[in-house]
């Protein structure tokens, strides 16, 4: 008999600043953006969901906690510089060792994302209450299972090319905006043993994370990116030969 689906351990990280400081955002997300995202996972089932925020000790993302996390979701916007280098390095090492990472919206400028991709993550942007249409390029992909050919958001912040990231391993969705720009909105990369997903929508002053198709994509991205293997990527042991070799253990300088 096939094994029962395993429970995926999800940790949702959110700055949780806009919801505290801005009444419009607080009205949209009374439990915080992390609370709305946690609700999406809990509705589907099969996940063990935790949350962490910027102002917790160690930002709630110690190496020990990350070791017990299959996939980390990251929403950040106005306080990227307040995330400690130690926390960013802990996330980077966890991904290289197998943990999944799903970066949302303005997380493209977060320290973990930029460290893992090795670029600035810069892009063009505009806040003008304009329509966004996301086109599904890979309806066969597990992240986009059950997602229609196009998803329309009546109001969103515009992100436009050029998006300063390495060419994605998989480009799953592109966005068109009312002002004419296009953008690579759903991308994946492999880094070490871990998978990285970037998904664009989610500006804090719009109800984007209440949209059923956006919630479906976020949840399925979390399940797809979740760790399949955890192994310390820094571990480079000396290897005993499997077959007889001349001068075993002798160092050769090339």
Predicted pLDDT of residue 243: 86
Q: How many CB atoms lie within 10 A of CB 30?
A: 10
- In the predicted model, is pLDDT for residue 249 greater than 70? no
Radius of gyration of the CA atoms of the chain, in A: 20
Separation CA 54–CA 181 (nearest Å) = 32
Separation CA 34–CA 213 (nearest Å) = 17
- In the predicted model, is pLDDT for residue 235 greater than 60? yes
Predicted pLDDT of residue 250: 58
147-163, pLDDT tens digit by residue? 999 999 999 999 999 99
Please give the residue that has the higher pLDDT: either 202 or 229: 202
Mean per-residue pLDDT over the chain, rounded: 94
Predicted pLDDT of residue 230: 85
29-58, pLDDT tens digit by residue? 999 999 999 999 999 999 999 999 999 999
119-144, pLDDT tens digit by residue? 999 999 999 999 999 999 999 999 99
pLDDT band at 241 (very low <50, low <70, confident <90, very high): confident
Tokens of residue 154, six digits: 């009546």
CATH class of 8-119+186-225: alpha beta
Mean pLDDT of 5-14: 94
Mean pLDDT of 3-31: 93
β-strands 170-177, 124-136 pairing: antiparallel
- Residue spans of the domains in the chain: they are 8-119+186-225
Mean pLDDT of 198-207: 98
pLDDT band at 4 (very low <50, low <70, confident <90, very high): low
With pLDDT > 90 as the criterion, what percentage of the chain qualifies?
87
Predicted model pTM = 0.93
Which residues touch 89 (CB under 8 Å, ≥6 apart)? 115
- In the predicted model, is pLDDT for residue 244 greater than 90? no
């Amino acid at each position: 008999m096939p094994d029962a689906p395993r429970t995926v351990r999800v940790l949702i990280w959110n700055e949780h600043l806009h919801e505290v400081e801005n009444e419009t955002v607080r009205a949209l997300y009374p439990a915080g953006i992390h609370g709305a995202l946690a609700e999406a996972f809990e509705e589907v089932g099969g996940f063990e969901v935790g949350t962490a925020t910027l102002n917790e000790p160690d930002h709630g993302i110690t190496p020990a906690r990350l070791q017990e996390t299959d996939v980390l979701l990251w929403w950040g916007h106005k306080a990227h510089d307040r995330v400690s280098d130690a926390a960013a390095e802990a996330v980077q090492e966890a991904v290289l060792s197998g943990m999944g990472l799903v970066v949302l919206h303005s997380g493209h400028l977060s320290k973990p994302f930029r460290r893992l991709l090795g670029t600035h993550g810069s892009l063009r942007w505009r806040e003008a209450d304009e329509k966004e249409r996301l086109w599904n390029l890979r309806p066969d992909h597990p992240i986009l299972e059950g997602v229609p050919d196009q998803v329309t958001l009546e109001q969103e912040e515009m992100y436009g090319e050029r998006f300063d990231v390495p060419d994605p391993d998989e480009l799953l969705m592109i966005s068109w905006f009312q002002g004419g720009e296009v953008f690579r909105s759903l991308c994946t990369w492999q880094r070490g043993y871990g998978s990285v997903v970037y998904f664009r929508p989610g500006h804090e002053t719009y109800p984007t994370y209440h949209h059923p198709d956006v919630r479906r994509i976020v949840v399925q991205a979390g399940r797809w990116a979740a760790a399949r293997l955890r192994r310390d990527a820094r571990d480079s042991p000396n290897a005993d030969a499997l077959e007889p070799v001349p001068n075993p253990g002798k160092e050769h300088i090339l």
